[in-house]
Amino acid sequence: MTEKKHVLIKNALILTMNPRKDVFYGGSILIEDGIILKVQPGEISLPAGDIQVLDARGGIVMPGMINSHTHLGMSFFRSLADDQKDRLRRVLFPLEKAVVTDDLVYWASLHSYTEMIQGGVTTLFDMYYFEDAVARAARKAGVRSILGETVVYFPAPDSPREYGGIGYAREFIQQWKHQDLITPAIAPHAPYTVDGDHMKECYELACREEVPMTLHLSEMPFEMEHFQKDYGMSPIAYLDDLGVLDSRVVAAHCIFTDDPDRQILKKRGVGVAHNMVANIKGAKGVAAIPEMLELGIPVGLGSDGPMSGNTQDVISLMGYTTKFHKFTRLDPQAMPPESVVEMATIGGARALHIADRVGSLEIGKEADIVIMDHSSPSMFPVYDPYSVLVYGASPRDVDTVLVKGRILMEHREILHLDIPEIRGKGQEYFEKVCSLPALKDLGLKIIRPEN
């Protein structure tokens, strides 16, 4: 009989994010085989056998943060073509066609995972191409990952045929369906890039294989105009009419919604990924999140891809989210810090439909945990830990990260990834992208030292 592996976290200011929102000062958490066995104020007696003790030294210990929408494989394109109009169709689609490969996606995803771990993200929902490469990176990184293979109406980097992502997704799901910490999914890009018949085919595959589905929804002004003109309804109403909305679906953005749209999302149990920073950076608008939360729609925070939101941590999103919603409503009490921390943790778990396993520090849940260092000036004093996290914290304050009880980062040191090797691969792809004739034809500004 093998001995059980224990991890004990002690001397912690614990934000449980449980239904009572219990906060334990000087608290402890005992983990056994990746599962939370005890969480309580005060000390826990050490069990016999193999045990690792982590001293939080009074720092905030909280559930790992959840990034509900991103594009990991785009991290080597960060800072390229920022602030361009119609960047998706004018720059991104041609760029991906020219340079995106299985190898690029693998190394760019590892680069993204490095950033995620350093920012305290323990769960994410990705949407991109070559998701098998992302899955291999996820397995190496040890981060809990829901990975959606993209489906579009045109030939894509990982398929020479239109809608080839459906066949890729079918094989991808079969290969990765029973892997620990990795959940394969299908990701029809958007209602304007996937027609009704293929959208239903994606949904039917998700239902048959019992996997999630994600898509961009009600994000673009041209999208809203198109569906109103051609169908006389919103994109959300259109998808509801197709019968493809239910509780397995995570909809990214949902910027342009009215009350009937929000009622559909609530009725169908759709999770919403709120990408605040990417949306305001792109000057698209901001989703009506307070109204969604009032209705009980599950909402999580998303960074979007590193070409859109640029950073992929969730800590930065929290401050922007509360401040912007306060500003738009001229109400300092709108979107209080506690509600934003909830969106970053258990709320994100609800949006991704995995709140039975992660998102809060409760007995029986998997031990996805972040220890925040409180030694930086902006993290002291701690009158209100929620306010400190939302208004004062940065990714640099993340000290230690665990996923299912495994320590991925301790005292800011990632323990299992070769960071210089990943950065070196990124440099190689940076040089390749800089030399693309297509970028010069677009007149994009690239500032770099001359060789």
Q: Examine the fold and report which residue of 351, 377, 393 is the final residue of a domain before the chain moves on.
A: 351
- Mean of pLDDT over the chain: 93
Residues 88 and 203 in one domain: yes
Whole-structure pTM over 0.85, yes or no? yes
Residues 344 and 370 in one domain: no
Residues 50 and 172 in one domain: no
Looking at the predicted structure, is the pLDDT value of residue 98 above 80?
A: no
Residues 128 and 255 in one domain: yes
CATH code (residue 33): 2.30.40.10
Q: How many CB atoms lie within 10 A of CB 283?
A: 8
Residues 326 and 284 in one domain: yes
**307: confidence class by pLDDT, cuts 50, 70, 90:** confident
Looking at the predicted structure, is the pLDDT value of residue 419 above 90?
A: yes
* DSSP assignments along 185-212, one per residue: EEEE--TTTS-HHHHHHHHHHHHHHT--
Q: Examine the fold and report which residue of 382, 397, 414 is the final residue of a domain before the chain moves on.
A: 414
Of residues 392 and 442, more confidence is placed in 392
Residues 283 and 307 in one domain: yes
Name the residue range of residue 312's domain. 65-351
**448: confidence class by pLDDT, cuts 50, 70, 90:** low
Quote the number of domains for the chain. Answer: 2
Which residues is 231 bridged to in the sheet?
none
**Mean pLDDT to the nearest integer, 110-130:** 97
For residues 145 and 404, give the distance between their C-alpha atoms in angstroms, rounded to a whole number.
12
For residues 285 and 326, give the distance between their C-alpha atoms in angstroms, rounded to a whole number.
15
Classify each residue of 369-392 as buried b or exposed e, where b means 16 or more C-beta atoms within 10 Å of its C-beta. bbbbbbeeeebeebeebbbbbbeb
In a domain, 430, yes or no: no
In a domain, 251, yes or no: yes
User: What does the pLDDT look like over 240-281, one tens digit per residue?
Assistant: 999 999 999 999 999 999 999 999 999 999 999 999 998 988
Looking at the predicted structure, is the pLDDT value of residue 447 above 80?
A: no
Structural contact between residues 260 and 241, judged by C-beta atoms closer than 8 angstroms: no
Residues 50 and 188 in one domain: no
Looking at the predicted structure, is the pLDDT value of residue 140 above 60?
A: yes
Q: Examine the fold and report which residue of 351, 371, 396 is the final residue of a domain before the chain moves on.
A: 351
CATH code (residue 277): 3.20.20.140
Cis previous bond, 381, omega within 30: yes
